[in-house]
Amino acid sequence: MDDFTNLRVSPPQSVQEALDLGHVYHDQLVAAMPGLLVHRGDTILHCSATLARLLGYETTESVQALPSAMALVPEDDQHTEKDVYARCLKGLIRSQVRRIKRHRADGSIQWFDQLMESVDWGGQPAVMEMLTLMRPLAANAELPHQEQLLQAAIDAMPNGVLMLDSDLNVEGANSEFYRLWDYPVGMFPPGTAVGLILTYNHSRGDYGDVPCEETVAALCNRFRVKGIYNSERRVPNGRTLDIRNAPRADGGYVITHHDITDRKRIEDELRQAKERAEAILKELRETQRQLIVQEKMAALGQLTAGIAHELKNPLNFVNNFAELSGELLDELLELLEPLNDHLDDATRVDVNDLAGSLQGNLRKIADHGRRADNIVKSMLAHSRGGGGEWQTTDLNGLVEEALTLSYHAFRAQDRSFNATLERRLDAAVGEVKLVPQDISRVLVNLFTNSFYAVRKRQLICGDSTYKPTLMITTETRESYVSVRIRDNGIGMSPAVIEKLFTPFFTTKPTGEGTGLGLSLSYDIVVHQHRGRFDVSSIENEHAEFTITLPRSVTAMSLGERRKT
Ligand code: ADP
């Protein structure tokens, strides 16, 4: 029988000696190699030479000649094994590691560590068993009873155990230790210096490029730490081991190795799942926030439109009667003209003064009435959205047109104003289905706000080197296009950004802004075109507005949407 555990040798002093030991024990080491058996429960398809020898057969053919794989299974285990094989053949067990018994040729029983896998063998499912010889319990028979008990106890442990004496020489190890570290069983017999094991690990590349002596010295020092400590190691076969070093009262050490690969994998999966859940939650919160804003905006838009409607008629009366009163006053003055000579000087001056004041007041009423009329018209634009036609439009062309229009309009009011206009218009943006009239209104509003912001900064800072600049970028991504307008004007505080889309919110002085531009733009982009409106800014540095539109959206006017 290939029983190398009974052979007594002095421990190896070098890696070379350990390897030489491998030669000396050539047969025994081969025995420690996994034997391979492939079968379909009944038919044996393949048996490796190693396995044939481990089972005490002369040739592989003699194993293959057995009536079935069950012939190798002891009576007691046959019922269970049949079931396991059947499940493996059905693919219900993909891979499994167990300890099992098998019949040897002479009828004796041999324990093995078994890795069983379901494999495809010539297009048919088959069971593949890799069998590694376990230390036979009989090998302990020569040891004193207490030692036998101890060896039996550590062999039965599900964890790998390595015992070291106070000089860090191996005193013993169980087969799980050899399995976890992928060492041939018995490679490091009692007396082997632990440094040699570490040197072996280094030679097979466990520690990467770190110099050998340095690594071995550092790891040996770790063993000598007084007190229990745990460390985690990933071994080359992909397992993660939790290694616990516990000093013993006699100066030696017990080092246990716990395979935590599955726990680590589950922890990793849990962490990833948690991260995914957090990301989804964040996205949901953001969507919820946007929905609330959208609803608020829609409600405010309707309110605005309602108020505007109510104001429109009385305002028409005010404007018309102011105009009519002006005309009536002119007529009255004409009629009174011939009577002028009958009035004394003081009365004539009083009459003329009163008539002048009356005319001035009527002009003011007409002026402010016109302003109020403009505001009401803007307010009504909220409810009128979607009035324009949906058209396939060259978006870059529309941006260019709106930019030129806004720039000239702004310069018409302030001839001294100049700004650098940087365009990064991506030709790939091409044509987009939108309502050009409404998107143009959005763009003009954004450009005008930017010109206002850069001009304001120029006037405030008085720095002759300051260059008012607008950068206009268009981009296309998947089924979306975007227009980004960035200016280096006064920027906005977070408090301003918060209220930006609220109707009537303005920071401009009375007469210069209505606070309706962005709220109307938001309605057009988000509700009418199902797009997004994004803003970012740093005060006194920049402001950036990005509108993102779907390339094509079902033509549905804002009016229609609101009715739903
Ligand atoms: P209005 O221009 O009539 O004030 P808007 O709705 O267009 O109305 O703009 C609301 C407010 O948003 C402005 O008063 C201003 O405070 C701020 N704002 C808009 N665009 C910019 C910009 N490019 N830079 C700084 N502030 C801006």
pLDDT of 419: 96
C-alpha–C-alpha distance, residues 493 and 499, integer Å: 10
pLDDT of 141: 52
Least reliable range by pLDDT among 132-146, 197-211, 240-254: 132-146
Same domain, 389 and 514: yes
Residue 300: other Cβ atoms inside 10 A = 17
Residue 434 lies in a domain: yes
Higher pLDDT, 20 or 156: 156
Residue 339 lies in a domain: no
CATH at residue 132 = 3.30.450.20
CATH at residue 530 = 3.30.565.10
Same domain, 474 and 549: yes
Question: For the residues 7-32, what does the mean pLDDT come to?
Answer: 59
Residue 459 lies in a domain: yes
CB distance 183 to 201 below 8 Å? no
Higher pLDDT, 297 or 354: 354
State if residue 490 touches ligand 1 by the CB under 6 angstroms criterion: yes
Q: What is the mean pLDDT of the chain?
A: 84
Give the domain-ending residue among 217, 237, 259.
Answer: 259
pLDDT digits (tens, 9 = 90+) for 457-506: 999 988 889 999 999 999 999 889 999 999 999 999 999 999 998 888 99
Residue 129 lies in a domain: yes
pLDDT digits (tens, 9 = 90+) for 413-441: 898 999 999 999 999 999 999 999 889 98
CB distance 549 to 436 below 8 Å? no
C-alpha–C-alpha distance, residues 518 and 527, integer Å: 13
Same domain, 514 and 471: yes
Residue with CA closest to ligand 1 atom 12: 500
Least reliable range by pLDDT among 59-63, 142-146, 174-178: 142-146
Q: Which domain holds residue 80?
A: 33-140
C-alpha–C-alpha distance, residues 369 and 363, integer Å: 10
* pLDDT of 392 over the 50 cut: yes
pLDDT of 453: 97
pLDDT of 532: 93
State if residue 503 touches ligand 1 by the CB under 6 angstroms criterion: no
Residue 529 lies in a domain: yes
Residue 171 lies in a domain: yes
Same domain, 71 and 209: no
Number of domains making up the chain: 3
Same domain, 182 and 119: no
Give the domain-ending residue among 94, 118, 140.
Answer: 140
CB distance 430 to 476 below 8 Å? yes
CB distance 164 to 198 below 8 Å? no
pLDDT of 431: 93
Return the structure tokens found at 69: 């794989």
pLDDT of 410: 92
pLDDT of 553: 67
Same domain, 472 and 562: yes
Residue 409's pLDDT band, with cuts at 50, 70 and 90, is confident
Residue with CA closest to ligand 1 atom 11: 506
Residue 340's pLDDT band, with cuts at 50, 70 and 90, is confident
Residue 447 lies in a domain: yes
Q: Residue 250 phi/psi, 5° resolution? A: -85, 10
Cβ-based neighbours of 121, under 8 Å, separated by 6 or more: 38, 40, 45, 46, 128
Sheet holding 480-487, edge to edge: 420-425, 469-477, 480-487, 542-550, 532-538
Residue 278's pLDDT band, with cuts at 50, 70 and 90, is very high
State if residue 488 touches ligand 1 by the CB under 6 angstroms criterion: no
State if residue 514 touches ligand 1 by the CB under 6 angstroms criterion: yes
**What's the predicted TM-score (pTM) here?**
0.45
The residue to mutate among 449, 483, 521, having the most atoms of ligand 1 within 8 angstroms of its beta carbon, is 449
Ligand 1 centroid–CA 425 distance in Å is 24
Residues above pLDDT 90, as percent of the chain: 38
The residue to mutate among 518, 524, 538, 542, having the most atoms of ligand 1 within 8 angstroms of its beta carbon, is 518
C-alpha–C-alpha distance, residues 147 and 140, integer Å: 8
Residue 9's pLDDT band, with cuts at 50, 70 and 90, is low
Give the domain-ending residue among 140, 160, 182.
Answer: 140
Higher pLDDT, 48 or 543: 543
pLDDT of 28: 53
Residue 382's pLDDT band, with cuts at 50, 70 and 90, is low
pLDDT of 7: 43
Same domain, 135 and 149: no
pLDDT of 534: 95
pLDDT of 308: 81
User: Among candidates 432, 441, 469, 467, which has minimal Cα distance to 543?
Assistant: 469
Same domain, 564 and 503: yes
Question: For the residues 234-254, what does the mean pLDDT come to?
Answer: 88
Residue 303 lies in a domain: no
State if residue 505 touches ligand 1 by the CB under 6 angstroms criterion: yes
